[in-house]
């Protein structure tokens, strides 16, 4: 088991390295932060040539010289990452390590509850609707899932946000906060906890309610594949009721593909977090990486790529572990 | 073809009470229904699927000729009515910059449908070819491509597209091409898995021993078996592409002004959800109609292509 997981981990480590390298080279050759900065500071300098030179000097000091050869720059960058764990600077002079670190915690807080809720509710509803195929409960849950799957995520989140605002206005209070992740100047443990809950409720609700659809539909499909199989029929022939047969024989088998699909739901979650942070105005990794892309910030973009790859690898390894737990045929 | 004996038997079974002398003439007249025509007939018999076709055709016509419905151009601003509600002058109102919503919607629908068509047709074809080739060739080719596919799946999509699109003016053609380039991996994996069960079948082996070249085998013997999967994939990937365009434009890394698309319109309407609801709901409803039409067509295709389905009626002509 450990040997297998170790081999997988090495494989993913190689892939992470490859993808990060690719993204660095792509970002270096496509991005031109100097031009952006000159445009942003236009008006401050009268002569654009001087301002361009000044921007270039600043960037060179931050090891972001746009005129340097891409491979040379990559060499400098990878040496810093490997030897000093220094992921470089942003064009504004901030350290990627620090900016990433503070936001990592914010994003994790936002995602964790929503992830667990999405997974648990999705699987539970999938089992429920498969056991009641084509009855009212199944029609309602599956229909709802299809509806949320075709609704674009930003539209869905905007609607939830408006709903919360409407609720606040209707009750004349500020029960829910729809922007930001905490208020300034709240003291005391309980007050802070309440404040946190008020900020978390809306994004978590939005991510959960519009997130479980994929899980529900696939779990329903997996279970249905097994409900009509021979071994369940045999189990029923021995005198079990339909529900008992499903519970004891079909359910566990149907968890195998669910566990395997875990790896591929993680990237989707990454995307979902980006939208939640942009719509609900959280200063987490998602909105940070969008700002990095728009301001053509090479180092921050590459750091986010590496983070996304690591998250994916963790999901894939977890999928392997879960598969080996639920699938008796897999002996690691 | 497997349908021939069945239809022949039914064709022969119908005229039992007819004069036996006419029988040979009828048998000579009778031509078995080709597979393509059979599928077409099964599809056309499906009322909801036809409704979907009509809906989509209407939207397509609107996207192509919608700009004739209004004297305004989608880059033209009416400074006398900024964010005006629907009126006789502007039948769907104007947005906060004073652009006529009919003109904007027609152009936006055109962009979004173009992206949907290009991505939705190119992606399944590419993934079909690569998936089948991987399954058929096996060995190191398979392993090498698997590394490529897994690495590309690992690469966070938003960032990958963002790196290429950002600061590039956000043209719809570029966006569509990039979405094709980086959108085929997941379904190629699926196709590879399904094609794996065909590459060891006797008809493929026979072809190989007869000396047919690998690419011809893939094209002639392996890929057609997965064509129905690819066709169904195509309809879902059309709306997937339109959905992705909306998401990307919303984040500011998709289509940007002066071009327009449904996603950009939704993103522009972000802060006007209450004050100017027409700005938000027209693109959202248009998108919903596109998805609705595609879903109906998808259902119809699924029934028409599945030989065991009885939803489209029995397999008689």
> Could you identify the residue written with the tokens 């039409």?
B293
Q: Is residue A290 a contact partner of residue B250, using CB atoms and an 8 Å limit? A: no
The DSSP bridge partners found for residue B100 are B94
Distance from CA of B53 to the nearest CA of A (A): 18
pLDDT in tens, B14-67: 444 545 555 555 555 667 777 778 888 888 888 888 898 999 999 999 888 878
Question: How would residue B12 be classed by pLDDT, with cut points 50, 70 and 90?
Answer: very low
Least reliable range by pLDDT among A225-229, B70-74, B201-205, B298-302: B70-74
pLDDT in tens, A109-129: 888 888 888 889 999 999 999
Chain B: residue whose CA lies nearest to A15: B151
Assigned CATH for A108-294:
1.10.3720.10
pLDDT in tens, A164-182: 888 888 887 777 777 777 7
| Rounded-to-10 torsion of CA B101, B104, B105, B110 | 170
Distance CA B191, CA B124 (A): 10
Distance CA A290, CA A294 (A): 6
For residue A276, what are its two tokens?
A: 């939640």
Peptide bond before B202: cis, by omega within 30 degrees of 0? Answer: no
How much is the pLDDT for A140?
A: 92
Q: CB–CB of B158 and A274 under 8 A?
A: yes
The answer to whether A234 faces chain B, any CB pair under 8 Å, is no
Q: Whole-model pTM?
A: 0.81
Chain A: residue whose CA lies nearest to B280: A155
> Could you identify the residue written with the tokens 């236009």?
A42
Alpha helix segments (H runs only) across chain A: 2-30, 33-40, 48-61, 70-84, 96-131, 136-150, 153-171, 189-209, 213-227, 230-237, 242-245, 251-279, 285-294, 298-326
How much is the pLDDT for B118?
A: 92
Is B3's pLDDT higher than 70?
A: no
Distance of CA A283 to the CA centre of its chain: 15
Element (H, E) at B29: helix B23-29
Chain B: residue whose CA lies nearest to A303: B159
> Could you identify the residue written with the tokens 């939640």?
A276
Q: Is residue A275 a contact partner of residue A63, using CB atoms and an 8 Å limit? A: no
What are the structural domain ranges in chain A? 2-91, 108-294
Is B316's pLDDT higher than 60?
A: no
For residue A256, what are its two tokens?
A: 């195998």
> Could you identify the residue written with the tokens 């991987």?
B134
Straight-line distance from the first to the last Cα atom of chain B, in angstroms, rounded to the nearest whole number: 16
Distance from CA of B215 to the nearest CA of A (A): 29
Q: How far is CA B27 from CA A268, B4, B126, B227, in A?
A: 58, 13, 43, 32
Distance from CA of A288 to the nearest CA of B (A): 12
Per DSSP, the residues of B152-193 read HHHS-HHHHHHHHHTTTT--HHHHHHHHHHTS-HHHHHHHHH
Question: How would residue A21 be classed by pLDDT, with cut points 50, 70 and 90?
Answer: very high
- The three-point CA angle A295-A299-A305 to 5° equals 95
Question: What ipTM did this prediction achieve?
Answer: 0.83
Is A280's pLDDT higher than 60?
A: yes
């Amino acid at each position: 088991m450990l040997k297998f997981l170790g081999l997988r981990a090495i494989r993913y480590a190689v892939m992470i390295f490859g993808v990060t390298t690719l993204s660095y080279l792509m970002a270096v050759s496509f991005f031109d932060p100097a031009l952006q900065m000159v445009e942003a500071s236009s008006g401050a300098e009268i002569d654009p040539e001087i301002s361009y030179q000044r921007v270039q000097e600043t960037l060179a000091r931050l090891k972001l010289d746009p005129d340097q050869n891409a491979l040379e720059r990559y060499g400098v960058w990878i040496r810093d990452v490997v030897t000093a764990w220094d992921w470089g600077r942003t064009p504004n002079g901030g350290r990627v390590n620090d900016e990433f670190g503070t936001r990592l915690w914010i994003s994790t807080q936002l995602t964790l509850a929503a992830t667990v809720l999405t997974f648990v509710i999705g699987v539970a509803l999938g089992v429920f609707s498969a056991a009641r195929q084509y009855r009212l409960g199944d029609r309602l849950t599956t229909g709802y899932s299809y509806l949320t799957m075709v609704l674009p995520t930003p539209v869905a989140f905007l609607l939830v946000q408006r709903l919360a605002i409407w609720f606040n206005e209707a009750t004349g209070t500020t029960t829910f906060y729809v922007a930001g992740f905490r208020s300034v100047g709240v003291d005391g443990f309980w007050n802070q906890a309440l404040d946190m809950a008020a900020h978390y409720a809306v994004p978590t609700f939005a991510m959960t309610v519009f997130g479980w659809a994929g899980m529900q539909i696939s779990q329903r499909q997996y279970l249905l594949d097994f409900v009509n199989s021979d071994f369940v029929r045999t189990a029923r022939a021995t005198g079990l009721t339909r529900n008992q047969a499903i519970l004891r024989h079909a359910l566990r088998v149907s968890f195998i593909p669910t566990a395997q699909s875990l790896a591929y739901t993680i990237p989707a979650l990454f995307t979902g977090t980006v939208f939640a942070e942009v719509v609900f105005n959280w200063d987490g990794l998602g909105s940070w990486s969008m700002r990095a892309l728009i301001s053509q910030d090479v180092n921050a973009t590459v750091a986010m790529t590496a983070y996304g790859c690591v998250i994916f690898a963790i999901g894939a390894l977890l999928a392997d572990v879960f598969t080996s737990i639920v699938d008796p045929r897999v002996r690691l | 073809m497997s349908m021939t004996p069945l239809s022949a038997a039914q064709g022969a079974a119908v005229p039992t009470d007819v004069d036996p002398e006419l029988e040979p003439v009828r048998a000579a007249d009778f031509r078995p229904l080709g597979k393509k025509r059979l599928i077409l007939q099964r599809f056309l018999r499906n009322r909801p699927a036809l409704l979907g076709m009509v809906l989509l055709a209407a939207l397509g016509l609107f996207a192509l000729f919608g700009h004739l419905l209004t004297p305004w151009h989608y880059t033209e601003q009416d400074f006398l009515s900024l964010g005006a509600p629907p009126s006789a002058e502007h039948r769907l109102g104007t947005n906060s910059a004073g652009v006529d919503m009919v003109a904007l919607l027609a152009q936006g629908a055109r962009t979004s449908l173009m992206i949907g068509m290009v991505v939705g047709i190119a992606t399944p074809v590419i993934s079909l070819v690569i998936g089948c080739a991987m399954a058929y060739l096996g060995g190191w080719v398979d392993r090498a491509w698997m590394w490529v596919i897994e690495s590309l799946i690992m690469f966070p999509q938003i960032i990958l597209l963002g790196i290429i699109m950002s600061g590039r003016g956000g043209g719809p053609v570029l966006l569509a091409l990039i979405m094709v380039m980086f959108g085929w991996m997941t379904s190629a994996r699926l196709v590879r898995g399904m094609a794996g069960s065909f590459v060891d079948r006797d008809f493929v082996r026979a072809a190989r021993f007869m000396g047919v070249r690998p690419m011809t085998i893939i094209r002639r013997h392996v890929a057609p078996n997965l064509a129905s999967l690819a066709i169904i994939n195509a309809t879902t990937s059309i709306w997937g592409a339109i959905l992705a365009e909306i998401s990307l434009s919303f984040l500011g890394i998709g289509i940007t002004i002066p071009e327009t698309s449904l996603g950009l319109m939704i993103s522009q309407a972000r802060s006007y959800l209450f004050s100017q609801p027409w700005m938000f709901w027209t693109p959202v409803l248009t998108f919903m109609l596109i998805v609705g039409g595609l879903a109906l067509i998808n259902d119809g295709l699924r029934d028409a292509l599945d030989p065991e389905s009885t939803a489209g009626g029995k397999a008689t002509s």
